[in-house]
Amino acid sequence: MASVELIDVSIRIKGTIVLDRVSLKIEDKEYVALLGPSGAGPSYVLQAIAGTIPIESGIILINEQDVTHLPPEDRFVGFIFERFNLFPHLSVLDNLLFGPRMRREDLEEKEKIAREMLNLVRLNGREDAISRELSGGMQQRVGIARAVTAGAKILLLDQPYRALDAKIRMEMRFEIREIVKELGLMAVHATHDTEEAMLTSDKIAVFNSGKVEQFDLPDIVFNQPQSVFVANFLAESNIFDGSITNSQASFNEVILNSNSDQEGTGKILIRQREVRIHMSSDGLNNYLSGTVVAIRILGEFIRIVVKINESLILTSKELLSLRWKNPSELIGKDVFVNIHPSKIKLFVYSEN
């Protein structure tokens, strides 16, 4: 049974707090994503677990044992980096056996385990290949096999796919998760990519400025965000100062119906994907009229910016479809913006 727990862990680098009293518990066989912008904390959590960076305060438990002051080699975790850190002059098999050889372990037994691992990560038959001859995806799988051969039950993945091209990156997300699950491992995966976290993880911890903003199942984090930061980081949003009273949202000189479970004054949040653009108001409820002032094509998506009044601009994001055959022709057109009452959220200002 593998488990990892951080209890009030803080890390300071050159006088700056990069982890601020982080508490987090990851259970056996879970695949957990640590999600946040650059410098927000996920990579520091991995380093703290691995023992490659000193902590200022707090406790780190691995398998319920205090490892706070143990060196990295005594923690039995496998660290998989963005860059694969394989020995380029060694064969795949020799990469797997390098650690056991240095520790003077039973190489006959370790080679048996290594070959089993290569089979499980779908690299059987490539034992004699030099690592630099392998694709990026194959090298990542070698990294996992090497960690498991060394005895790791816990994998720490630090932005492992960022160096791969888009197609391979998409394939590897699912492939690595499948391998982790097949081997019964725990994986802790630091990433800036929301989609990657949502697709691969059992749970997501969202970080902001060295703190955990929310830690829960992916669908709960996405659909029930506990802060403006979490809501906007997982899906780009329109955010305004405003209030909701008696199911009426008031912001920037407009009033709309809202089913928000919060009332009071704070930040009104409407995700861009919930702002629907129509050329006619027929059959619409809870809508505003405005003028399209900008269009952005984002690959398979289109972003439409609508000016409602002098103080309110709303942005809509949706799949680029045939109804926007010539999107640039929308600029300057009068449109109607429809927002369902359940999609207008309020995050009440903190009293602190």
Q: What is the pLDDT of residue 164?
A: 66
* Six-digit token string for 341: 């009452």
Residue 278 near residue 336, CB atoms below 8 Å: yes
Indicate if 148 and 279 belong to the same structural domain.
no
pLDDT at 78: 85
The verdict on 319 and 339 lying in the same domain is yes
Reported as a single tens digit per residue, the pLDDT across 64-117 is 999 999 999 888 888 887 556 788 888 999 988 887 887 788 888 888 888 888
Query: Does residue 168 share a domain with residue 41?
Result: yes
Judge whether residue 199 has pLDDT over 70.
yes
pLDDT tens, 124-165?
Answer: 888 889 877 888 778 878 877 887 787 788 989 988 777 667
Provide the whole-model pTM: 0.86
CB 157 within 8 A of CB 187: yes
Taking 60 as the threshold, does the pLDDT of residue 352 lie above it? no
State how far the alpha carbon of 264 is from the alpha carbons of 42, 223, 245, 248, in Å: 33, 21, 6, 11
- Residues 40-50 have pLDDT tens digits of 999 999 999 99
- Better pLDDT: 145 or 247: 247
Final residue in a domain of this structure, among 196, 228, 260:
228
pLDDT at 112: 86
Burial of 282 (0-12, 13-18, 19+ CB in 10 A): exposed
CATH assignment at residue 13? 3.40.50.300
Rounded to an integer, the average pLDDT of 36-61 is 95
Indicate if 166 and 21 belong to the same structural domain. Answer: yes
Same domain, 203 and 341: no
pLDDT for position 48: 96
CATH of the domain at 272: 2.40.50.100
- Examine the pLDDT at 299 and tell me if it is beyond 80: yes
End-of-domain residue from the set 181, 202, 228 = 228
* 164 and 187 within one domain: yes
Residues 124 and 17 in one domain: yes
| Residue type for position 243 | S
Question: Among 212, 228, 244, which residue terminates a domain?
Answer: 228
Mean pLDDT, all residues of the chain: 90
Of 9-18, 71-80, 251-260, 272-281, where does mean pLDDT reach its minimum? 71-80
Same domain for 174 and 298: no
Residues 212 and 259 in one domain: no
What is the number of structural domains in the chain?
Answer: 2
305/323 Cα distance (integer angstroms): 17
* Residues 182 and 208 both lie in one domain: yes
Are 133 and 183 within one domain?
yes
pLDDT at 340 over 90: yes
Could you tell me the pLDDT band of residue 235, with boundaries at 50, 70 and 90? very high
Backbone φ and ψ for 345, nearest 5 degrees, come out as -105, 150
Between CA 320 and CA 248 the distance in angstroms is: 32
Same domain, 252 and 200: no
Instruction: Determine the structural domain holding residue 255 and report its residue range.
Output: 236-348
Q: How far apart are CA 233 and CA 222, in angstroms?
A: 10
For residue 266, the one-letter residue type is: G
